[in-house]
Amino acid sequence: MGDKISIYPEKMPDGAILFEIKIKDPSLIGKKASFSIKRKVSVKDSRPVHGSNVLFKFSFNVNSTNKIRVSAANMKNTSGSFPYSGSKISIKTIAEVKVTTALVFKTTTRFSLSNYVAGDLPKRAEVKRDPKKLIDPKDSFNFFNNLGSIPLRNQTASLILIIFGTAILMINLWVGYHDQISPEHQTWFYSHNGSDGDSSSPLYNAFWVSALIAIGIWWGMKNQFRKYMAFHFKPRIRKIDRASTVNVADLVTGRSRVDLIDPVLRVVACNMEKGQYIRGYGSNRRTHSFSHPNRAVLLFSRRVPIIPKGAPIHQYFDEEFSFKPMFEALYPRQMVSSSHGLDLVWEVQLIVADLVDQELIGNPDAFVQKDFYSA
């Protein structure tokens, strides 16, 4: 609708932005309208679910020329905004004008504010590591060795979870098969008709329920298998800036019930693209959320031959490292909601052969945001 409405922003000396909105369609004069500044996340998928949040909004009645001044104080709401284009999402800040032309119809135009919002980033340093492998390394463990290393109550919980979870999974598949071959009035649980009246496959639905059960079993078992040791952050982590160095011994601590052979402690960080997409149709239509690592850096890695059982973990990693490579290579957080945006993820990993690896997820708000913008 750019042929009907045009937006012309102008930076003012005091940091405000004056938006001149020109109406080219006389039929819009006198109508109710809204002006807003939004941060928008566009998902790169064939069936995307986009996300946005409103940073500023103003309502007005349309004249041929309308001027809206957004103060420097209000423009601070856009602090941290920057254009981003990754493999799964893109983010931009836009000015949007909507004119209500009828009860449910609106005329809309948008203008990208990439050159007007705060947050110009210097060029990011090159990253060569595979972000998926770095942030989620393959976890190879020996089932029986790991089972024998955890307390008896966790052994019992693990076996109950596996036995009963697998039984429920198989029963669910059997119910799905029964309902698939039975007429509708003889089904036990899964209907041949969806809630919207479309036909539905009981076996297909049972398969996906069983897949969720299997994921739950796997997650619960690994959670129990991690009980061979305590591993946690130390209570206080100060604000971290580009010049900060942190001693690993001041960051984490813990003790193991068994000897840890050749353990590797790593500190890693990455940008995580987050969004949603739709799969399936009719009653099988589902909205899926995704978290896709895009850029990643290794901040610290050290292997030691052995950590005896009961020994404080931090004593074996009494060494400093810098967060500077993260500020140079990664982008700061830019989330528009819990499900959409660009996140900053950092974690401490303890990788142990034959045992389930340990990981601690760090607080992304621990970092000084403005230091991502300095060269």
Q: Cβ contacts of residue 285 below 8 Å, gap of 6+?
A: 278, 279
Q: At residue 329, does pLDDT exceed 90?
A: yes
So what's the pLDDT on residue 197? 63
**DSSP letters spanning 109-140:** EEEE-TTTSS-PPPPPPP--S-HHHHHS----
So what's the pLDDT on residue 1? 43
d(CA 276, CA 48): 6
Q: At residue 118, does pLDDT exceed 90?
A: no
> Within 13 A of 208's CA, how many CA atoms are on the CB side?
11
pLDDT in tens, 185-211: 889 999 888 766 677 888 988 998 999
d(CA 100, CA 76): 28
Q: Average pLDDT in the 122-135 region? A: 89
So what's the pLDDT on residue 338? 93
86 pLDDT tier (thresholds 50, 70, 90): very high
Return the beta strands (E) in the chain as ranges. Answer: 5-11, 17-23, 32-43, 48-49, 51-61, 65-70, 84-85, 89-100, 106-112, 229-233, 245-247, 252-256, 260-261, 264-279, 286-303, 306-307, 320-322, 334-335, 341-351, 358-361
- Fold (CATH) for 5-112: Immunoglobulin-like (2.60.40)
Tell me the whole-structure pTM to 2 decimals: 0.84
Q: At residue 12, does pLDDT exceed 70?
A: yes
d(CA 363, CA 373): 20
176 pLDDT tier (thresholds 50, 70, 90): very high
d(CA 92, CA 40): 6
104 pLDDT tier (thresholds 50, 70, 90): low
User: Which residue spans of the chain are classified as CATH 2.60.40?
Assistant: 5-112
309 pLDDT tier (thresholds 50, 70, 90): very high
Q: At residue 120, does pLDDT exceed 70?
A: no
For the chain, give the mean pLDDT: 90
